[in-house]
Structure 1
Amino acid sequence: MNEKRRGWSFLCPHRKEPSPPPSPTLKEPWRKISWRDKQKDLQYVQEYQPENSNIKSLRILLYGPVGAGKSSFINSVSNILRGRMTIPAAASATTSDRSFTKSYETHKIRKGKGQPKTFYPFVFNDIMGLEEGSDAGVSAEEIKLVIKGHVREGHKFNSTSPLPDHGPGYNPDPAPDDKVHVLVCVISANSAEIQDSVLEKISNIREIAGDLGIPQMAIITNIDTACGETEKDVKNVYKSKHLKKKMTDFSAAVGIPVNCIFPVKNYSHEIEINNDVDSLILSALRRMIDFGDDFIENMP
């Protein structure tokens, strides 16, 4: 019996041990970001002025599926620029397949606390979300009217009744400031696979904007809840294999180049400003401003 035990003990080390699971992160980040240089990007945004003197405010339109985090992104930008928690755009904390935003709203961000009130020379527009099915959510045709500046402030979207060109919500003679200068698609990294009908709407909207020469980009939200490594440390975002695949898959699905897609974490449960969260949001915001300013520079 002792001999058998010794023999079994001798053979054990030669058994093939199971391989450890692959690491969820890359050794090196695939995109560089200066985490310690938040102040540089913040100053750039704070000092921005449109190149085209006919444009008082660069208009940034956010669109995307329901619950992607459009309103939360606007609030997050406001938090950074005002240095505290703010809620300029009403956002929902619950999950739903119906859009929380129903009307066309322009969100300005106030500078400091001085008098008289002054605002940053860029604004955000938050619209009804893209919903599954042809008769739900905002339509591509209504977004086309928004892009061209034909939708008045406060217009309530109705998925079953598109805006007529003679109704009270229609702006027949839009000024350059009324038009959209950069189009941003907002997608949640934590959402299930995007439905074909929603992808078709995104493609139609991209085609409309492309015909008008509007610059386009995308942000991917909820990177912390979609990836455990990023939840531990948001600085792992560009090391996360899962998030990189999300970005490349989305790029392939809708045609937005990967270098025009930016992952962000919106403020959600925090009650204080976080420099790493700010760095990602400012990185995306700076590109929105750059792309939009290039566009308005060439406007007549």
Structure 2
Amino acid sequence: MNFLKDFANRVQDFLGLRDPEPPKLFEEPWRQTEWQNKRTELEYFRSYKPKNDAVSRLRVLLYGPVGSGKSSFINSVDSAIQGRMTSPALADNASGDSFTVNYKTHKIKKGKPSKFYPFVFNDVMGLEDQTNRGVSEEDIKLAMQGHVKEGYWFNPASALLKDKPEYNKEPSLDDKVHILVCVVPANTVSLLNDQFIDKMRKIRLAARDLDIPQVVILTKIDEACSEVRKNIKDLYKSKYIKEKMDLFSQRLGVPVNCIFPVKNYHEEIDLNDDVDVLILRALRQIIDLANDYVNKL
């Protein structure tokens, strides 16, 4: 049957009887990207240090649905900066549950083993739409305020209590979060139900009340759009990716210019300059916004 259908389509195409498919790409990119600027971006990070002397390192907190690629984004950032494949944050492709279960700070080595870049990443257990499943919104709020100590094991049924040893009663500026990053897969944006969005919205409003800047990392762009999979440089011509960015912007309330689509490394064994440029460009926006925040403290 498929053969006959394909044959009929070919005949219709030859006779001009079938309407052509609408183009999947815009003629011009809707966001400009300097694809050759990888070296410039790397130099920026190598020379960067926080402008506020009271802060020794910027803290980036990542959150998002289970399987969104938070740990993979940390690994991809580390790989792009190191110039080789690395995996400091454990990631998992098989389980439907969150692979991250405790609060851990991920540093990026800078040359010598004991030297690190002045920004760190914290990952949390993934969000779920069901009650008593996934990380609680309260734990994320406590982490933003610096109250969660390293190694704390997340409990979906109960947020961290003040009388627990994992509760940091007197957080320093270094302990507090300087930017909140929501990580969401492009291929499942349309599938996020109201419960998911409601949880994300509460977290977003809590960050707003703390004056913490926020961005969104849109992952799995190659799985979401076949045109991007064929040529990643067509990312900002893709009508599908633009549609998903606009949709998520409307639902969560984050401006489109604070949403950065990237492709995480997950099956490759070699780096790709174009993939690195997207990752490093998103990272630079994260660092710049976090730096602006600490300058106001």
Task: Normalising by structure 2, report the TM-score.
Answer: 0.93
Instruction: Write the letter of the residue equivalent to 1:248.
Output: D
Q: Matches of 1:103 and 1:256 in 2, distance apart?
A: 27
How far apart are residue 94 of structure 1 and its match? 2.0
Q: Does 1:159 align with 2:140?
A: no
Deviation, 1:95, is 5.0
The one of 144, 148, 166 aligned to 2:145? 148
Q: Measure how far apart 1:134 and its partner are.
A: 2.6
Aligned to 1:23: 23
Q: Which residue number corresponds to residue 234 of structure 1?
A: 232
Which residues of structure 1 form unaligned runs of 5+?
1-14
Matching of residue 101 in structure 1 with residue 100 in structure 2: yes
Tell me the percent identity. 52
Q: CA contact under 8 A between 1:150 and 1:170: conserved in structure 2? A: yes
Contact 2:136 2:158 in 1 (8 A): no
8 Å contact kept, 1:99–1:131: no
CA positional deviation for 1:18: 2.1
Partner of 2:9: none
Q: Which residue of 1 aligns with 2:11?
A: none
Kindly indicate whether residue 172 of structure 2 is the aligned counterpart of residue 175 of structure 1: yes
Question: How much does 1:17 deviate?
Answer: 2.5
- Stretches of structure 2 that go unaligned for 5 or more consecutive residues are 1-14
Q: Is the 8 A contact 2:67 2:93 kept in 1?
A: no
Q: Pick closer, same or farther for the CA change 1:267–1:16 going to 2, 3 Å.
A: closer
1:294 matched residue in structure 2: 292
Structure 1 residues 209-288: aligned runs within 5 Å? 209-288=207-286
Task: Count the aligned residue pairs.
Answer: 283
For 2:183, the equivalent position in structure 1 comes to 186
Whole-Å Cα distance in 1 between the matches of residues 95 and 244 of structure 2? 21
Partner of 1:12: none
- Larger Cα Rg: Structure 1 or Structure 2? 1
Q: CA deviation at 1:55?
A: 0.6
Distance, in Å, in 1 between the alignment partners of 2:186 and 2:95 is: 14
* Aligned residue in 1 for 2:45: 45
d(CA) in 1 for partners of 2:95, 2:135? 18
1:274, CA displacement in angstroms? 0.5
Structure 1 residue 16 displacement after superposition: 6.2
Q: Does the 8 Å CA contact 2:139/2:159 hold for their aligned counterparts?
A: yes
Aligned to 1:56: 56
The CA deviation string for residues 146-198 of structure 1, in whole angstroms up to 9 with x for no partner, is: 00000000000001122110101100010100000000000001225102111
- Alignment root-mean-square deviation, CA: 1.3
Q: 1:224·1:265 contact (CA, 8 Å) conserved in 2?
A: yes
Q: Is the 8 A contact 1:134 1:197 kept in 2?
A: no
The separation in 2 between residues aligned to 1:52 and 1:253, in whole angstroms, is 34
SS of alignment partner, residue 215 of structure 2: strand
d(CA) in 2 for partners of 1:266, 1:111: 21
